[in-house]
Amino acid sequence: MKMSLIGLDIGTTTICGVLFSLKEKRAIKTLSLNNHFIESEIPGEYIQDPQRIYLDIKAILDELIDFSEQKIEALSLSAQMHGILYVNDEGDPVSPFYTWQNQRGLRQKQGQMLNEIVSEKLGYQVHSGYGIVTHYSLLQDDEVPKGAAKFCNIGDYIGMRLAGASTPVTDISLGGSMGLVDLQQGTLAGTLKNLPLLDEEILPALVSSTELLGHYKGIPVIQALGDNQASFLGSVIEKETSLLLNYGTSGQVSFYRKEFAQYPHFETRALGNEGYIHVAFSLCGGHSYKILAGFFNSVTELFSAGKPQNILKIMDDLDLDFTTKDMDCLPLFLGERGEEKQLAYFKNIRDINFTPANMIKALVQGMIQELFRFYDELPMDVKSGMKTLVGAGNGIRKNRHLIKAAEWTYKKPLVLLKNSEESCLGALINAGKAVGIFKDYSEGARAIVEYMSQGLS
């Protein structure tokens, strides 16, 4: 039977949609648009326009529907995590979307950063940019918009709009990312009542990750997932034995466990009702490589009157040996989560190794080491079960140096994905599970995910 699914992804910088044919086992059409920030007079706001995002999603979705010659069984969404917006009783936005990069939580209150105060009251760690921290900051400053009836994540809002509803709901992945959920119990956290001034009526209700929200042009609209969970679903075929390295705007190393557990440096995140993924982060991720390219470009412009060079291509074409180490780099250009004052460094520089090639090599090794150091501290029984190293995100897919360094460091061959829009694939796997095409996420992954190759080393 000719069936297809649609997965949509609301990223920080890009909005994307994939129409996937189950019979042909391929993405038959992919569309994307740039996402944009709104200029703000307040430093560190990092806000976006929810109405513009909705219109962009709708434009992509309508084009995919018009293009499809097959029956579209369902659609679901993946969304950038942590951030919030406010809606009124009619479901209309009454605020911008405060993204995960919002820095209100770093403000000082009585000698403490706000996110630390909120963490103490909740009894678990939340960071600046988490929805509950942003909301608490707005509460403290009496800046919650008038008419606000609920707050929710952008994925919750878009799902509500597409389904024709007026009250947003959230799931354990997005709700957890906002800092609202007791992950072990699978409910809204009881300690939320410890936050002064918090009216719990403003919190979105918690529903299943496969909840049917309504229909869009007759197509079932399924609850959105967090983009981290969606990317994991759309990247690994065997979740129980895979280690995922994702390098994009940020970087993550992720693995799956069926039972709830906690590991140092790793956040525990619910994968619907099918267990948990554990994620460690680098804030700069694949962007570190472009930062060094920008430095080389500025040097070229300063000292050369010639034509501009394609710096990234020159860097990519170098022959680098990752079996040895010359200088050291830890590329914390944006700091480190929970340690924002930590800075990047190059060190162990000598007269004989201070070359552009060695800087590139050290940076790439540092990009891998930044996440590997967390993985390396995991218990041996956890590490020994990880048989497949999977690379996702354009930061590693398009960087052969990063692939080689990862393989050398993790002592495993790295496989790359055939399809590039992992979060969209994860969203449509969620949609397929919701309507009974797949009995679980593993069956969906085996039907959707394909590996292109073993690394490029």
Residue 443 has pLDDT above 60, yes or no: yes
* pLDDT value of position 249: 76
The model's pLDDT over 62-118, given as tens digits with 9 standing for 90+, comes to 999 999 999 999 999 999 999 999 999 999 999 999 999 999 999 988 889 999 999
- Mean pLDDT of the 326-347 span: 87
Of 173, 153, 160, residue with least CA distance to 83: 153
Strand partners for 329: 346
Residue 1 has pLDDT above 60, yes or no: no
Strands 276-282 and 212-216: unpaired
Residue 411 Ramachandran class (φ > 0 left, ψ -120 to 50 alpha, else beta) = left
Q: What is the pLDDT of residue 306?
A: 66
> Over the stretch 260-309, which tens digit does the pLDDT of each residue have?
999 999 999 999 989 999 999 898 888 999 999 999 999 998 888 766 67
Confidence band for 342, pLDDT divided at 50, 70 and 90: confident
Looking at the chain, the number of H-run helices and the number of E-run strands are 14, 26
pLDDT (0 to 100) of residue 454: 54
What domains can be seen in the chain, in order of their start residue?
A: 3-223 (3.30.420.40), 235-418 (3.30.420.40)
Residue 174: which residues within 8 A CB-CB, separation 6 or more? 79, 81, 153, 155, 156, 224, 225, 226
Task: Convert the pLDDT of each residue in 140-190 to its tens digit.
Answer: 999 999 999 999 999 999 999 999 999 999 999 999 999 999 999 999 999
Q: Are 20 and 68 in contact (CB under 8 A)?
A: no
Q: If you ran DSSP here, which 8-state letter would residue 93 be given?
A: B
Regarding predicted confidence, which is higher, 210 or 454? 210
With beta carbons less than 8 A apart as the criterion, state whether 127 and 338 touch: yes
Residue 356 pLDDT exceeds 80: yes
| Both tokens assigned to 145 | 């918009």
Give the pLDDT band of residue 138 (cuts 50, 70, 90): very high
Q: How far apart are CA 365 and CA 359, in angstroms?
A: 10
Residue 251 has pLDDT above 60, yes or no: yes
